[in-house]
Homo-oligomer: A and B are copies of this chain.
């Protein structure tokens, strides 16, 4: 997956008013015992380190969760295609943000039904009212909700940054393939230290 094509994969860079979107680091995904989950300890800890800097700097942080009404009529054909999602009933522990991220009461939690954090949610409106120009995507899974969120962030007009060590997947092959696609077409896939330094230098 190392082909390069001329005219693809340039850097779109980062702006001055970033937001960190933490995608689906909820118990149903970070508990390796579930069908949905895997061991994302390293990715959660790297994300936490970014969040601590962001909080000190006043950079906005938004979390997402996936949660369905008990009848699942709000899940369309997604819950048919991926029945493992039926674990995620509104109000259940599975839909709560992983406590290692220490979500603050002032940090919005967006409930979604599908892969993209923007789709059918108020996320885009929030980012606009916050004056954001860059979306830093962390969370899981790289091949699912992370990629869908990175794609939609670009489509909504944002610069997109994905710190490689802050996103994870059940499958290492899918993880790599999707980072390749994101870097080629949708946003800049960069190292954790690079994002840490970028955030640290913001005024």
Given the complex of chains A and B, what is the CA–CA distance between A184 and B131 in angstroms?
A: 24
Contact of A36 among B7, B69, B148, B178 (CB under 8 A): B7
Question: Do most interface residues of chain A lie in helix, strand or loop, or is the interface mixed?
Answer: loop
Q: Does A64 contact B (CB under 8 A)?
A: no
Enumerate chain B residues within 8 angstroms of A115, measured Cβ to Cβ: 151, 155, 185-186
Count, chain A residues at interface, CB 8 A: 74
Q: How many Å from the CB of A175 to the closest CB on chain B?
A: 11
User: Is A198 close to B, CB under 8 A?
Assistant: no
A residues with CB within 8 A of B: 1, 3, 5-13, 35-36, 69-71, 73-74, 76-78, 80-85, 105-106, 108-109, 111, 113-116, 119-131, 133, 143-144, 148, 151-152, 154-160, 170-171, 173-174, 177-178, 180-181, 184-187
